[in-house]
Structure 1
Amino acid sequence: MLSAINNGFARLTDHPDFGKLVLRLTFGILLLFHGAAKIEHGVGWIARLLTAHGFPTFIAWGAYIGEVVAPAMIIIGLLTRPAAFIIAVNLAVATLLVKTGAIWSRTDVGAWALETEALYFFGGLVIMFLGAGKYTLIRNPRLQ
């Protein structure tokens, strides 16, 4: 009986391309909120952090690419894998700049202090490895 329920549910929900679309839309839209904050408030504070770590300040402009351009590309399915890679790198750099000391910390509710950063980083990797699926602006027919 459990096998029949499982098989029936699997038949109803076996839509990997739709799942990829939902993942891309959720991930991209939620990350765009972070990009909107950068558009509203600028990246000056990121430039100051970079300077404190000995990096050139122009790298701060990469936040716009990683949190506005790349998520938009993921949403529409344009160069999805490279865009997802850019997001993963952006999150790694952001975490190293802002929250390095929180690697072993937990929040007041018991969550890992880097939970959000990890979700975005690994989400970017997952999208990079899965690709966009068939619901996309540009598909690579060789990989379909």
Structure 2
Amino acid sequence: MNESTGKLILRLALGSLILFHGVAKLIGGVGGLSGMVTAAGLPSFVTYGVYVGEVVAPVLVLLGWYSRIGAALIAINMLFAIALAHRADLFVIGKTGGWALELQGMFLFTAIAIALMGPGRFSVNGK
């Protein structure tokens, strides 16, 4: 039970925190991201993948329904975010002494952990 409770806490934390970013993009749009995507040589439609990574995937993780896939999608989303929006800070220590990308890193590595461990018993899939 403790292991499944721990997995539930990780799922709820990751899913809800990423979903906040997704809701902000649903409200404000993704137009500002399009320039970063095209500047990297990718087609502009790739910008809409953020809705998958920050809305659909977190809902999957929160529910524990295909949460391994949802977590993998969040990890991919975070790799894109780091590469496109945060690469200048990849090797930077912030003003308070922590890694400048500690939030993005925490999202990335938590998503990888959930993708590897699965959702636990308190999930729609129940595995």
TM bucket by the smaller chain? over 0.9
- Share of identical aligned residues, percent? 37
Higher relative contact order (CA 8 A, sep 6+): 2
Provide the secondary structure at the position in 1 that maps to 2:58.
helix
- Between the aligned partners of 1:100 and 1:130, the Cα distance in structure 2 is 28
Tell me the residue number matched to 1:123. 110
Aligned partner of 2:66 among 53, 67, 79:
79
Q: Which runs of 4+ in 1 moved over 6 A?
A: none
How far, CA to CA, are the matches of 1:15 and 1:95 in structure 2?
33
The AA in structure 1 aligned to 2:94 is: T
Task: Check if 1:31 corresponds to 2:14.
Answer: no
Instruction: Point out where structure 2 has 5 or more consecutive residues left out of the alignment.
Output: none
Aligned length: 127
CA distance in 1, matches of 2:107, 2:124: 23
Asked if 1:51 corresponds to 2:51, the answer is: no
Partner Cα separation in structure 2 for residue 51 and residue 18 of structure 1: 42
State the Cα distance separating 1:48 from its structure 2 match.
1.2
For 1:94-113, list aligned pairs within 5 A.
94-113=81-100
Q: Aligned with 1:133: secondary structure? A: coil
- Displacement of 1:56: 0.4
Q: Which is greater in Rg?
A: 1
Cα deviation for residue 54 of structure 1 reads 1.2
Aligned-residue CA RMSD (Å) = 1.1
Q: Which amino acid aligns with 2:123?
A: T
Q: Could you state the TM-score of these two structures normalised by the residue count of structure 1? A: 0.84
Q: Distance in 1 between matches of 2:38 and 2:65?
A: 33
Q: Secondary structure at the match of 1:104?
A: coil
**Does 1:62 pair with 2:49?**
yes
